[in-house]
């Protein structure tokens, strides 16, 4: 009994630590689940923008593209080139939708944080911000990438995919396993940290010098946001291509 009591206290302490939150958040109760409504609202706004643009741009397709169709085809060609470069000529086509979705969702999410006046929308608790300004979103995107490259490797190479963990020597097995944990960690924290830092810098500058200085910083934020989306999509495609290497 004396041994069980300290164990229960340790478990209770860990539970209390896990419930700690930074700031206030707005939650919705859906059935038995509590949903982080701030991220859900802004994510669906981003999805609606992407769906709306794709529908409008593909309404009247022409053999010789003009206007919005020309722009959409340019974006598609850019994503295809990116995927082909990282995955390879033979295997890239099935992965264009996945890499394209990742790139466009992250790009529009990042830009929404810089361009949309989210904070004028009042919530009972907390405030709205870019979806990628929340660690839950970036971790989810990174985990989707991990699932994708595991699937790609297993689908292409079968069980021989796991042979990579003992290459070039079995001594490296722990390090090779650890690498698969560090990939989603680096993807998620890189994206989250850069977007959060950019929004904090702009917010501080607006509070100190509200007129002139923040404008160039906002344009710089748009540029860095696009670079972060490109880095994430490039690394995701590179991981997928790497997992399919070594097939004979």
Residue 3 located in a structural domain = no
The CA distance from 6 to 222, in Å, is 52
Domain boundary among 59, 74, 106: 59
Residue 5 located in a structural domain = no
**Considering all CA atoms of the chain, what is the largest pairwise distance in Å, rounded to the nearest integer?**
80
User: Could you tell me which residues are beta bridge partners of residue 35?
Assistant: 28
DSSP letters spanning 151-164: HHHHHHHGGGGGGG
Residues 70, 113 within the same domain: yes
Residues 39, 113 within the same domain: no
Give the chain's radius of gyration (CA, Å).
22
pTM: 0.81
Residues 51, 167 within the same domain: no
Residues 136, 227 within the same domain: yes
Domain boundary among 44, 59, 74: 59
Residue 152 located in a structural domain = yes
Domain extent for 32: 28-59
Residues 181, 99 within the same domain: yes
The CA distance from 107 to 236, in Å, is 15
* pLDDT value of position 42: 87
Residues 47, 149 within the same domain: no
Residue 211 located in a structural domain = yes
Residues 83, 190 within the same domain: yes
The CA distance from 77 to 98, in Å, is 14
* Residue range 11-63, pLDDT digits in tens: 555 444 444 444 556 677 777 777 777 888 889 999 999 999 888 878 877 77
Residue 144 located in a structural domain = yes
Residues 153, 72 within the same domain: yes
Number of H helices, E strands in the chain: 7, 2
The CA distance from 163 to 167, in Å, is 7
Residue 95 located in a structural domain = yes
User: E strand or H helix at 226, and its extent?
Assistant: helix 214-243
Residues of the chain with pLDDT under 70: 1-26, 117-119, 122-126, 210-214, 246-248
| Average predicted confidence (pLDDT) for the chain | 80
* Residue range 152-172, pLDDT digits in tens: 888 888 888 788 888 878 888
CB neighbour list of residue 134: distance below 8 Å, 6 or more residues apart: 36, 38, 39, 192
* pLDDT value of position 19: 47
Torsion of CA 218, 222, 227, 233, to 10 degrees: 140
Residues 174, 217 within the same domain: yes
* pLDDT value of position 14: 42
**Contact yes or no for 39/131 (Cβ under 8 A):** yes
Residues 190, 227 within the same domain: yes
**Contact yes or no for 79/103 (Cβ under 8 A):** yes
CB neighbour list of residue 73: distance below 8 Å, 6 or more residues apart: 65
Residue 4 located in a structural domain = no
Residue 124 located in a structural domain = yes
Residues 77, 54 within the same domain: no
CB neighbour list of residue 178: distance below 8 Å, 6 or more residues apart: none
CB neighbour list of residue 108: distance below 8 Å, 6 or more residues apart: 46, 49, 50
User: Could you tell me which residues are beta bridge partners of residue 28?
Assistant: 35
Query: How many domains would you assign to the chain?
Result: 2
* pLDDT value of position 7: 52
Residues 112, 149 within the same domain: yes
Output the six-digit token pair for 79.
């994503």
């Amino acid at each position: 009994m004396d041994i069980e009591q300290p164990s229960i206290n340790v478990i209770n302490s860990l539970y209390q630590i896990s419930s700690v939150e930074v700031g206030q958040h707005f939650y919705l109760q859906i059935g038995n689940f509590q949903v982080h409504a701030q991220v859900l609202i802004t994510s669906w706004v981003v999805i609606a923008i992407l769906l709306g643009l794709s529908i409008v741009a593909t309404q009247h397709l022409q053999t010789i593209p003009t206007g919005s169709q020309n722009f959409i085809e340019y974006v598609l060609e850019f994503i295809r080139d990116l995927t082909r470069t990282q995955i390879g000529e033979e295997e890239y086509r099935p992965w264009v939708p996945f890499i394209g979705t990742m790139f466009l969702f992250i790009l529009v999410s990042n830009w929404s944080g810089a361009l949309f006046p989210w904070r004028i929308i009042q919530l009972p608790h907390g405030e709205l911000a870019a979806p990628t300004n929340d660690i839950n979103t970036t971790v989810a995107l990174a985990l989707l990438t991990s699932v994708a490259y595991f699937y790609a490797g297993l689908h292409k190479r079968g069980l021989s995919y796991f042979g990579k963990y003992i290459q070039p020597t079995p001594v490296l097995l722990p390090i090779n396993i650890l690498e698969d944990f560090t990939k989603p960690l680096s993807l998620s924290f890189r994206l989250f940290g850069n977007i959060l830092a950019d929004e904090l810098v702009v917010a501080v500058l607006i509070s100190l010098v509200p007129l002139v200085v923040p404008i160039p910083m906002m344009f710089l934020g748009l540029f860095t946001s696009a670079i972060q989306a490109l880095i994430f999509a490039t690394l995701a495609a590179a991981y997928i291509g790497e997992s399919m290497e070594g097939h004979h």
